[in-house]
Amino acid sequence: MPPVPASAIATRLSAIRQRLEAACRRCGRAPESVQLIAVSKKQPVAAMAAAAAAGQQLFGESYVQEFIDKQQQLDLPLEWHFIGALQSNKVKYLRGRTALIHSVDRWSLAQEIDRQWGRIGQRARILLQVNLAGETSKAGVAPDQLSELASQISTLAHVRLEGLMCLPPYAADPEQVRPWFRQLRQLAATLQLEVLSMGMSHDFEVAIEEGATLIRVGTALFGERD
Ligand SMILES: *Cc1c(COP(=O)(O)O)cnc(C)c1O
């Protein structure tokens, strides 16, 4: 599939926004309670610029080098989230440059984020990625280790744990993903965390119905990645 032309991105963005609003109406939520993250990994900067011109301010990237490169190229007042696997030795490159890290899944990584953000006298906002189905191919803390990790993190002065993120098993029918979203919401409620990052291109409406506050949409907006 060829990349989506920049001229089509505004149209696709507004279609996604309409779907977001319709999902909110169905479950009686305010549309402002759900933020759309444009997942721009492996997409050209021109496509991001087109989305920004159409009003999209929040972007999600998965690779540190690409994140840095694009941030330098796109000198716009955007909000950047980091959503991919993160090695501790690369945290320093993100220091002060990302509004939210979605993918923290271990104590050593949280400690390194704390150390780096401490150097700039700020507090990093983070989510814990939860591996709900115990998939070996995916990162994430196991549900039964979540509360211990959360309580360790609560001792860190330069990290603020705000919520949970998941990347559940793919199912062609989004209804089959619903129980995973519901489980993430229940885990967050137990920990009194408010932010729920869940739902992607093919299942974000179900995620919204289950309480998502951040949805991460790539393909539906930008088309297939290289
Ligand atoms: C790539 C990616 C997405 C976007 O997926 P689409 O199916 O293209 O919408 C969302 N979340 C994470 C963590 C990703 O890596």
User: What's the distance, CA 35 to chain centroid?
Assistant: 10
The CATH T-level fold of domain 6-221 is TIM Barrel (3.20.20)
Task: Compute the distance between CA of residue 109 and CA of residue 107 in angstroms, rounded to an integer.
Answer: 5
Mean pLDDT of all residues in 193-203: 98
Predicted pLDDT of residue 2: 59
In the chain, where are the structural domains located? 6-221
217 Cβ closer than 6 Å to some ligand 1 atom: yes
Out of 4, 35, 83, give the residue to mutate to test ligand 1, the one with the largest number of ligand atoms within 8 Å of its CB: 83
Q: How far is the CA of 157 from the centre of ligand 1 (A)?
A: 30
Predicted pLDDT of residue 223: 95
* Residue 201 CA, closest ligand 1 atom number: 9
Predicted pLDDT of residue 70: 98
Q: Which residue has a Cα nearest atom 11 of ligand 1?
A: 216
Task: Compute the distance between CA of residue 91 and CA of residue 35 in angstroms, rounded to an integer.
Answer: 25
Whether pLDDT at 3 is above 70: no
| Share of residues in the chain with pLDDT > 70 (%) | 99
Mean pLDDT of all residues in 139-146: 98
Write phi, then psi, for 181 (nearest 5 degrees).
-60, -40
Whether pLDDT at 1 is above 60: no
Q: How far is the CA of 223 from the centre of ligand 1 (A)?
A: 12
Predicted pLDDT of residue 174: 96
Q: Which of 113, 102, 108 is nearest to 166 (CA)?
A: 102
Task: Compute the distance between CA of residue 212 and CA of residue 50 in angstroms, rounded to an integer.
Answer: 26
